[in-house]
Amino acid sequence: MPTVTHRLRMAAAVLAAVLLSLLVPEAASGADAPGATVKVYVVPAGDRDESLAAIADRTVGDPQRAGEILDLNLNRPQPDGGALTAATGTPKPGWVLRLPDDASGPEVRLARVGAAAKPFWNTALILSLAGAVLLGVVTVGVLARRPIARRYRRFTAGIEARRAARLHAQAQARLRRRLGTALRETPAPVSGPAGVEVFGVLTAPDATTAWVGTTVAPQAGWTAEAPGVWRRAGGPGRTDAADGVALPARVGGTEEELLVLDLSWLDGVLAVDGDPEVASSVIRTLVTEATRHRPDLAIIAVAGPDADPSLAPPSVRRVPDVAALAAVIAAPAAPETPGVMRDAARRRRLSGLVLVTRPLGADEAARLAQLCAGDGGWAALVHGAAPGAFWSWHAGSDGQVRIPWLDRAVTVPSLVA
């Protein structure tokens, strides 16, 4: 069965043949060649009979040959713009009539045939132009069919992708608002394994997952999914203070899950890079959760003049840079490990939070990590990158934050009322 492309090519070939037939001039059929000498009769004015029969009688001697004169002059343009037709019958004075070659007599004259003037616009030319345009359209369709189809598919795919992204963003915004409402109105719905130190708990309607600080065998009712990761079937318990979680902070969730982390394990620098707005939501959530359980928690902001006021409100103590922070927070006498990276986190009582509202360079990040190390009880939340930070999360433009050490991505709640 012929394809669409094959049919277009056949149509283009047919059109080309039609155009050639229109543009090739037709051979002269009975017409006098330009420059030839012919015999003519000029119709005089007066009352004499100037019918074709009378003219034939005077010039060729036979009135019955009037039909020959009609054929020789039929539709031939005359000086006044008229033309002899079968309907006109009698020629008008001043008309020049072509005569048969054997015409003779005193009224027969010789004349030279000139090139006939032809109108610029005629049927053949109009059809040729229309055919040329149509042929061009068909040719373009043949040549550009696949590129146009690809561009059309890309265009429609782009529309669908933008629509899907818009719907996803709307769904994420609704989820963030619901999570924000849950954080303001409900206690932490978390219950980890009793008597075990817990990094975090992920609650869902059908199961609870806990990241624990032990390598011993799971307790009754719990199963080990991986080293340090326990799972229990069934929905979450609900307690005011989570079992095994000293300073719970609800970080975010999905449609059916909620992730709670223990901020008492935050014994260094947590950097949240990526989308600035989402990163701000992450830090606001952590500060809100920490101060909800510890209203006396000290907060110091390392903030410049362009700092986000929602991250460092006016009531918070401010310092201009990390160097000035050292005068407020005494660094431990002997840090466990030099540099920013540390071997492992450990649980401790949190004394205060340092809010850094801008990304840090390597030197500042190293100094900040030293100030937050040891038993001082300070932890830092950095809005942006901090080279070598022990904890590093990534905020996406879709409202989610990626937590690598849990291998989880959760939607960040919006705390805007």
Q: What is the pLDDT of residue 115?
A: 55
Q: What is the pLDDT of residue 183?
A: 42
Tokens of 9: 């090519």
Task: State the SS3 of 149-209.
Answer: HHHHHHHHHHHHHHHHHHHHHHHHHHHHHHHHHHHHHCCCCCCCCCCCCEEEEEECCCEEE
- Please name which of 104, 9, 106 lies closest in space to residue 62, comparing C-alpha atoms: 104
Q: Kindly report the average pLDDT of the chain as a whole number.
A: 74
Q: Strands, DSSP E only, in 267-399?
A: 269-274, 298-302, 317-319, 352-356, 378-383, 391-395
| Confidence check: pLDDT of 179 > 70 | no
Taking only the tens place, the pLDDT of each residue in 31-41 is 566 668 889 99
Cα–Cα distance for residue pair 385/365, rounded to 1 Å? 9
Tokens of 133: 């345009």
Q: How many CB atoms neighbour CB 170 within 10 A?
A: 10
Residue 250 sits at the vertex; the CA angle it makes with 248 and 251, to the nearest 5 degrees, is: 125
> Of the ranges 177-186, 217-226, 323-332, 401-410, which one carries the lowest mean pLDDT score?
177-186
Confidence of residue 100 (pLDDT cuts 50, 70, 90): very high
Cα–Cα distance for residue pair 310/288, rounded to 1 Å? 11
Separation in Å, CA 94 to CA 41, 46, 65, 113, 315: 10, 11, 22, 17, 113
Cα–Cα distance for residue pair 157/146, rounded to 1 Å? 16
What is the bridge-based pairing of β-strands 269-274 and 298-302?
Answer: unpaired
Cα–Cα distance for residue pair 103/138, rounded to 1 Å? 56
Taking only the tens place, the pLDDT of each residue in 139-150 is 666 566 667 767
Confidence of residue 378 (pLDDT cuts 50, 70, 90): confident
Mean pLDDT of 269-294: 87
Mean pLDDT of 314-321: 83
Q: What is the pLDDT of residue 292?
A: 83
Of the ranges 14-18, 76-80, 141-145, the best mean pLDDT one = 76-80
| Confidence check: pLDDT of 24 > 90 | no
Say what percent of the chain tops pLDDT 70: 65
Taking only the tens place, the pLDDT of each residue in 324-373 is 888 888 655 444 444 333 334 445 567 888 899 888 888 888 888 888 87
**Backbone torsions φ then ψ of 55, nearest 5 degrees:** -65, -40
Cβ atoms of 285 and 183 within 8 Å: the answer is yes
| Confidence check: pLDDT of 248 > 60 | yes
Cα–Cα distance for residue pair 198/208, rounded to 1 Å? 13
Residue-wise burial string across 90-121, b where 16 or more C-beta atoms lie within 10 A, e elsewhere:
ebeeebebbbbeebeeeeeeebeeeeeeeeee
| Confidence check: pLDDT of 387 > 60 | yes
Q: Where are the domains of the chain?
A: 36-112, 187-245, 264-411
β-strand partners of 310:
none
